[in-house]
């Protein structure tokens, strides 16, 4: 088959890119390795930046988000001194939207179905061919039959473990990485959220986060050693540890219940440069990973889609190649800004096993600055709601 843009990966970045391009008459084919049910079974991000909210509305798939999503005008930080609020509205006149990535992906699939976009599931052995040529193509296998997609451009939206980044030769790509000495044990429970807004806790026993998906679905995390396995933790052990780390005014009234999802995610910061190789463009987790502390992973995928969709629309609409030629540099500037913020928020809120007493005092001073200095809170708010596109 032939198309204009072949998109590898049917997660949020691939689907959002496909939706935005199709709405401008640009033909796409999405190749997704897994089934739709499998993709929709993953529990991931929960906070959408203002930029992503705008993109979803532009893509015509924000109706349910605007009804069921929860705008949040602030979040809370808890330290040994107590809890204080970062007031996004008063500091930067912005808010974020609390609405799960699973629901975003569900809405994107529904929007793609409505416009009859081509999304091929269970596409195995996807391989990229001749990305440096003027006639790149992609092959895949489905039901034991090999298929070929000839295209003008390829968007690698296939996540950290996908095939796209590996297609860029090791001598060409440069990778930057920091692996953190702990993970996040997360649970989803059909309980009322412990607080109206998110609570990020820095506790001597480790980090904890109280988040939510709706008025009846809560999402919680505690920092755990990398050696921990999810089977080491019963639900009761999790609730007890979470109660120890959250501030008393949040922990005491907290409703507990059985976990409906429980998993441990490792934390890393990772960037691949460049994000393009000939007619192949990397998008989202295929190019970068952030620790989830700053709620940036999904949102960075959205800003990549913003830049690439506009570049391709300008090219197909007016023959303007400028966006295509500068995509990597443009996307990386915002990526490194969010990479820094996610690293900073992780450094300030977690307990590091190898931290010296001096390191600990510096961390406490950083948190005290946030509590006492408005400009420090404003800088955090500006980054948390999302740097401009």
147 binds ligand FAS (CB under 6 A): no
CA distance 304 to 308: 6
Nearest Cα to Cα of residue 211 among 72, 41, 33: 72
Q: What is the DSSP letter of 258?
A: -
Binding residues for ligand PHB restricted to 283-322, rule: CB under 6 A: 292-295
Chain-centre distance of CA 175, in angstroms?
19
Minimum distance from CB of 84 to ligand PHB (Å)? 17
Is 72 tagged catalytic?
A: yes
Length of the chain: 389
Binding residues for ligand FAS restricted to 297-316, rule: CB under 6 A: 297-299, 301
Instruction: Kindly name the residue from 131, 136, 247, 292 that is annotated as catalytic.
Output: 292
Instruction: Kindly name the residue from 153, 200, 221, 327 that is annotated as catalytic.
Output: 200
Is 384 tagged catalytic?
A: yes
126 binds ligand FAS (CB under 6 A): yes
Tokens of 147: 């298929």
Task: Confirm if 235 and 259 have CB atoms less than 8 A apart.
Answer: yes
Q: Tell me, residue by residue from 193 to 232, as one string, x for binding to ligand PHB by CB under 6 A and - for no binding.
A: -----x------------x-------x-------------
Binding residues for ligand FAS restricted to 25-54, rule: CB under 6 A: 31-34, 39, 44-46
Minimum distance from CB of 267 to ligand FAS (Å)? 10
Q: How many CB atoms lie within 10 A of CB 262?
A: 18
Name which of ligand FAS, ligand PHB, none residue 199 binds, using a CB cut-off of 5 to 8 Å depending on partner kind: none
Q: What is the DSSP letter of 24?
A: T
Minimum distance from CB of 385 to ligand FAS (Å)? 13
Work out which of 56, 61, 157, 345 binds ligand FAS, going by CB under 6 A: 157
Task: Confirm if 212 and 96 have CB atoms less than 8 A apart.
Answer: no
Work out which of 3, 13, 22, 276 binds ligand FAS, going by CB under 6 A: 13
Close Cβ partners of 155 (under 8 Å, ≥ 6 residues apart):
5, 6, 7, 8, 14, 17, 281, 283, 308
The Cα-based distances of 176 to 245, 307, 333 in angstroms read 32, 22, 14
Tokens of 28: 């796409």
Report DSSP letters for 167-187, one per residue.
HS-TTT-EEEEEEEEEEEEEE
31 binds ligand PHB (CB under 6 A): no
Name which of ligand PHB, ligand FAS, none residue 102 binds, using a CB cut-off of 5 to 8 Å depending on partner kind: none
3-class secondary structure, 188: strand
Task: Confirm if 86 and 38 have CB atoms less than 8 A apart.
Answer: no
Is 200 tagged catalytic?
A: yes
Q: Closer CB to ligand PHB, residue 99 or residue 239?
A: 99
Name which of ligand FAS, ligand PHB, none residue 293 binds, using a CB cut-off of 5 to 8 Å depending on partner kind: ligand PHB
Q: Closer CB to ligand PHB, residue 46 or residue 51?
A: 46
Which residues bind to ligand FAS, rule: CB under 6 A? 8-14, 31-34, 39, 44-46, 101, 123, 126, 157-159, 161-163, 265, 284-285, 292, 295-299, 301
Catalytic residues, by residue number, are 72, 200, 292, 296, 384
């Amino acid at each position: 088959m032939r198309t204009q843009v072949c998109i590898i990966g049917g997660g949020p970045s691939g689907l959002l890119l496909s939706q935005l391009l199709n709405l401008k008459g640009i033909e796409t084919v999405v190749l997704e390795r897994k089934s739709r049910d499998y993709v929709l079974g993953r529990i991931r991000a929960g906070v959408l930046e203002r930029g992503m909210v705008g993109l979803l509305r532009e893509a015509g798939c924000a109706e349910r988000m605007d009804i069921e999503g929860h705008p949040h005008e602030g979040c809370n930080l808890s330290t040994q001194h107590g809890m204080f609020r970062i007031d996004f509205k008063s500091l930067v006149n912005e808010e974020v939207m609390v609405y799960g990535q699973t629901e975003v992906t569900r809405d994107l699939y529904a929007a793609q179905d409505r416009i009859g976009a081509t999304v091929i599931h269970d596409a195995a052995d996807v391989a990229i061919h001749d990305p440096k040529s003027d006639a790149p193509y992609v092959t895949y296998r489905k039901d034991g039959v090999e298929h070929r997609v000839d295209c003008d451009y390829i968007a690698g939206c296939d996540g950290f473990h996908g095939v796209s980044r590996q297609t860029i030769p090791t001598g060409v790509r440069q990778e930057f990485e920091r692996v953190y000495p702990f993970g996040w044990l997360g649970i989803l429970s059909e309980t009322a959220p412990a607080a109206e807004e998110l609570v990020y806790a820095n506790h001597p026993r480790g980090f904890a986060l109280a988040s939510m998906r709706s008025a009846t679905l809560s999402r919680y995390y505690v920092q755990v050693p990398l050696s921990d396995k999810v089977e080491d933790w019963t639900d009761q052990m999790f609730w007890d540890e979470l109660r120890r780390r959250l501030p008393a005014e949040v922990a005491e009234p907290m409703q507990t219940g059985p976990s409906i999802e429980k998993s441990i995610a490792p934390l890393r910061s990772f960037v691949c440069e460049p994000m393009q190789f000939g007619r192949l463009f990397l998008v989202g987790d295929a190019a970068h990973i952030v620790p989830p502390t700053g709620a940036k992973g999904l949102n960075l995928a959205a800003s990549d889609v913003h830049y690439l969709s506009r570049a391709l629309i300008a090219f197909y609409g007016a023959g303007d190649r400028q966006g295509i030629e500068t995509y990597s540099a443009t996307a990386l500037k915002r990526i490194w800004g969010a990479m820094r913020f996610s690293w900073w928020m992780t450094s300030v809120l977690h307990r590091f096993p190898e931290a010296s007493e001096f390191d600990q005092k510096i961390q406490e001073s950083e948190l005290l600055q946030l509590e006492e200095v408005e400009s420090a809170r404003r800088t955090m708010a500006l980054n948390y709601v999302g740097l401009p596109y």
